[in-house]
A and B are shown apart, each in its own frame.
Chain A
Amino acid sequence: MKAKVYVNLKPGVLDPQGKAIQHSVELLGFSGISDIRQGKYFEIGLDSAFGEAAARESVSRMAREVLSNPITEDFSVEIEA
């Protein structure tokens, strides 16, 4: 069983890395890009004894308390069997 956690800056929080990446991508000739925001992605291997609901609850707590800073970041959790 595997959990995937995506951590992204909250809307409105300045992301200078995203802006710099966007600038570089545009220099390469890509156009029509309205915004790039850089986030973090975690893959967490879980003991298969976890049920999906328990895994979601446990990983969500992990994401809230460690993987993200709730002041600046939002997160989402996906569980794969």
Chain B
Amino acid sequence: MKFGVIVFPGSNCDHDAYHVISKHVGQPVDFIWHRDTSLSSYDAVIIPGGFSYGDYLRAGALARFSPVMNSVKKFAQSGRFVLGICNGFQILCEAGLLPGALIRNRDLHFICEHIFVRVEIADTAFTNELERGSVLRLPIAHAEGNYICDDDTFAALKREDRIIVRYCDKDGGVTDVANPNGSRDNIAGICNHERNVLGLMPHPERACEDLLGSSDGRGIFRSLAATLAAVA
């Protein structure tokens, strides 16, 4: 199995993602510059966090027009796996690979802190090593993480079990107080209808070492690796 980490001008979690795949998942991984268009040698790509194109216009809006994104669309359509983290989630929404949008946090602040999310669905390519209902402690770092969508989209997300993680308190209670940014229904991560594209606002790649305050993020990457191992 081989992973790719896409690098846009302004990406800043690309090295974290690369480190986690090479060190903790123990698999080959490449950086993919946003002008490259060949993804044929990869089984999964990660769109990392950061401030692609300086968040000009809207977060993720300009990265969507980078040459690599057409390839990412085809990559996803072919059934291979795409994980967008933070700015990567914003880019996936702007590109139409995930529904809805991420707008300014309800209190306006850039929020940089550890929060808790509850795993709502465990039988996905990205969460199969985790237990439904388990609570992960992960960092967030964003100003535009407030997930919104229309009522029809929300109904489809619920009906199809596509809300994968939700903000919660340390005991797993999904409350408004535990919602850091105002996201609808405490949504912290969703997948597409085909279930091979996941967008997450929290940063599992920054939570893979106890030294950094939490290693709860490893489960996401190990799940994806287990999925790829099973497919291979």
Set B65, B107, B148: member contacting A71, Cβ < 8 A:
B148
Are the C-beta atoms of A72 and B57 separated by less than 8 Å?
A: no
A59 to B153, CA, bound (A): 29
Q: Nearest residue in B to A38 (C-beta to C-beta)?
A: B104
CA distance A66 to B61 in the complex (A): 7
In the complex, per-residue mask of B149-185: 1 if CB is within 8 Å of any chain A CB, else 0:
1100000000000000000000000000000001000
Chain B 34-62 near chain A by CB (<8 Å), digits 1 or 0? 00000000000000000000000110010
Q: Contact at A16–B57, with CB atoms within 8 Å?
A: no
Q: CB of A58 within 8 A of chain B? A: no
Q: Which of A13, A20, A69 contacts B108 (CB 8 A)?
A: A20
* Chain B residues with CB below 8 A from A16, complex form: 104-108
Residues of B within 8 A of A (CB): 57-58, 61, 65, 93-94, 100-101, 103-108, 146, 148-150, 182
List 17 extra interface pairs beyond A66-B61, A71-B101, A72-B101, CB under 8 A: A13-B148, A14-B103, A14-B106, A14-B146, A14-B148, A16-B105, A16-B106, A16-B107, A17-B104, A66-B57, A66-B65, A69-B94, A71-B93, A71-B148, A71-B149, A71-B150, A72-B148
Interface residues of A, Cβ cutoff 8 Å to B? 13-17, 20, 66-67, 69, 71-72
